[in-house]
A and B are shown apart, each in its own frame.
Chain A
Amino acid sequence: MKKEAGLGSRAFDVIVYTIIVCLMAVTLYPLLYVLFASFSDAGQFVAHRGFLWRPVGLSLSAFDSVLRNPGILLGYRNTLFIVVAGVALNLIVTALGAYVLSRKNVLWNNVFMFMIVFTMFFQGGLVPLYLVVKGVGLLDSLWSTIIPFAVSTFNLIIMRTAFQGIPDSLEESAKIDGASHGTILTRIVLPLSMPVIAVMILYYAVDKWNGWFYASVFIRSRELFPLQLVLREILIANATDSMSAGAAAGDRFQLGETIKYATIVVATAPILCVYPFVQRFFVKGVMVGSLKG
């Protein structure tokens, strides 16, 4: 039986598709603009006004300058360290907490849970956190963007929910065989929770890769700046001033308009290339999280 598509339904389709296509165009255009600009010839690009539909005067010189710039390379290295070490620590501590909190018959778990959830609703504030980070001697170290953010409470709750969903019988039989908690966690619980672990890695990694604010507060030395801080100087905070201030650190970075865009491409491409492949995991993560709400 063929479905009748009436005139009204057709018109409705046209409107829906038009709106969605417009939205896609508005979402994509700024990104395409950046991409086109980064491949443009600096002189021609500066002279150009208005929309850009393709690179003006194809040139790779902007990327050449960016990839030779010591500040950006250092930033890349620092960010990679923050992402790798940070996500590793995040996963270990979050998994430990989620495992303990998902056990039954642990007397103090309610207290722990209250203590942890309470921090979602009330925080000491920015200045007191700064004083603590200073007090434990983390200021001006890459660890200042890692250790004070070892656990995201939201992620901890998601992981705990996932661990609770694992059938008890599996762990019971392991226990009878004399398995320790460490064994149960690494041999049974974690392997059975791989989708959630994937979501956690992705959440934490994107967070670390894109983070800039706490680095800007806790880190003073230029050679420890993560990529996003270097980017902020180039893009927003009166780039030319800070760049010439950084010239003392051996920065011979001539700021051209196209270099700005090439930097964005270099800093954003890794995430945008990876994410379509892991999109379904992200969606899953939002779903697991929403079950709680």
Chain B
Amino acid sequence: MANAQAALGSKRPAGGAVRRNRFARDFGVNKYLYLMMVPVIAYYVVFHYAPMYGALIAFKNYTPIKGILGSDWVGLENFSDFFHSYYFWRILKNTILISVYTLLFEFPAPILLALLLNEIRSKAFRRAAQTVTYMPYFISLVVVCGIITDFTNSDGVINHLFTLFGYDGQAMLQKPGLFRPIYVLSEIWQHVGWESIIYVAALMNVDQEQYEAARMDGASRLKQMFYITLPGIMPTIAIMLILRMGNLMNVGFEKIILLYNPGTYDTADVISSFVYRKGLLEFGWSYSSAVGLFNSVINLALLITANAVSRRVNNSSLW
């Protein structure tokens, strides 16, 4: 026993010394690099890791006077309050539905656009089409939502269009049933051009000889599109799809809070907008943090799952 300890004891300093040497040598060589890294690390510690630590208040009854450490622990009370509240199912449903509708309708749009752009032979026209369709990406969300609000007004342009077909004008953003269509359609308007860039880039790598061969065989251009072009960009589509799946529960609040109102909470309120409202407008610090933490953990789990699926199916993964 004593022998064994002596043996261990005699080994430990040696190992420690080697390691210490390695660290010391590294620090000696790279000290200026580490000095350069100080602002970066400081930024991440203060503005990313400190908030993670601050998320502890989800398990506490936080009051600004007592601070994060001093506030009383309440365990999972904030979480169970949330799970049992009337809002839980509503915002969960809205988050998933808005996400799924976006996936179904907005995700394929840029793929379709890239396929169509690929069929345009005039270079000048193609560039014009790209310049125009990228444009909404650079317009601020506030302006986009302002235009949406205006166009969907009871005397707005869209309603005018409907009255031509015999419908009555209505303030569309006040109708809970119309919120999701408005959200998804405007998402397409905003992003279809920008998101097509990555597919256009992938299209450049499709083997041109295949088209030659297909033409010899008399395949129509529609057939070429379906049997050569589309399979050619399938790996890119798969990666983008998996990334989307990982973000399924991650519906951003910025556009939602610019467009919704208490009358449309029933269909519009999602987890992130709820966190914003409860936390920053109604000062339910701890409750809001609990909801946010719940969402973050689910997002992380979804992303890890999606990544694992990607690794198996696609042989490509984020990490």
Chain A interface residues (CB < 8 Å from chain B): 8-9, 12-13, 16-17, 19-20, 23-24, 26-28, 30-31, 33-34, 49-52, 93, 96-97, 99-100, 103, 105-108, 112, 115-117, 119, 121-132, 136, 147-151, 180-182, 206, 209-210, 212-213, 217, 228, 231-232, 234-236, 260, 264, 267-268, 271-272, 275-276, 279, 282-283, 286-287, 290, 293
Which listed residue (A31, A212, A228, A276) contacts B131, Cβ 8 A?
A: A276
The answer to whether A16 and B36 have CB atoms under 8 Å apart is no
Determine if B258 and A236 form an interchain contact, defined as CB atoms under 8 angstroms apart.
Answer: yes
* Chain-A contact segment, one of B6-14, B81-89, B91-99, B274-282: B274-282
Q: Could you tell me which B residues sit within 8 Å of A by CB distance?
A: 22-23, 26, 29-30, 32-34, 36-37, 39-41, 43-44, 46-55, 57, 68, 113, 116-117, 119-120, 125, 128-136, 138-143, 145-147, 149-151, 155, 157, 160-161, 189, 192-194, 197-198, 201, 220-222, 239, 243, 254, 258, 275-276, 279-280, 285, 288-289, 292-293, 296, 299-300, 303, 318-319
Contact B26 A236 (CB under 8 A): no
- Determine if B318 and A293 form an interchain contact, defined as CB atoms under 8 angstroms apart: yes
Q: Is B36 within 8 A of A267, CB to CB?
A: no
CB distance from B105 to the nearest CB of A (A): 15
Known pairs A107-B26, A119-B48, A127-B54 / 5 extra A-B pairs, C-beta < 8 Å = A9-B220, A20-B129, A231-B142, A282-B134, A293-B243
**Least CB separation from B145: chain A residue:** A236
CB atoms of B116 and A12 under 8 A apart: no
* Chain A binding surface SS class: helix
Q: Are A130 and B279 within 8 A (Cβ)?
A: yes
A231 touches B51 (CB 8 A): no
Question: What chain B residues lie within 8 Å of A50 (beta carbons)?
Answer: 157, 160-161
Residues of B within 8 A of A100 (CB): 33-34, 36-37, 40
List chain B residues, Cβ under 8 A from A106: 26, 30, 33
Query: Dominant SS at the B interface?
Result: helix
| Alpha-carbon separation in the docked complex, A266 to B283 (Å) | 35
User: Lowest 10 A-B CB distances belong to which pairs?
Assistant: A124-B51, A235-B146, A128-B54, A125-B292, A50-B160, A210-B140, A97-B40, A128-B51, A107-B26, A127-B279
5 example contacts (A-B, Cβ-Cβ < 8 A) are as follows A26-B189, A100-B34, A125-B293, A129-B51, A228-B142
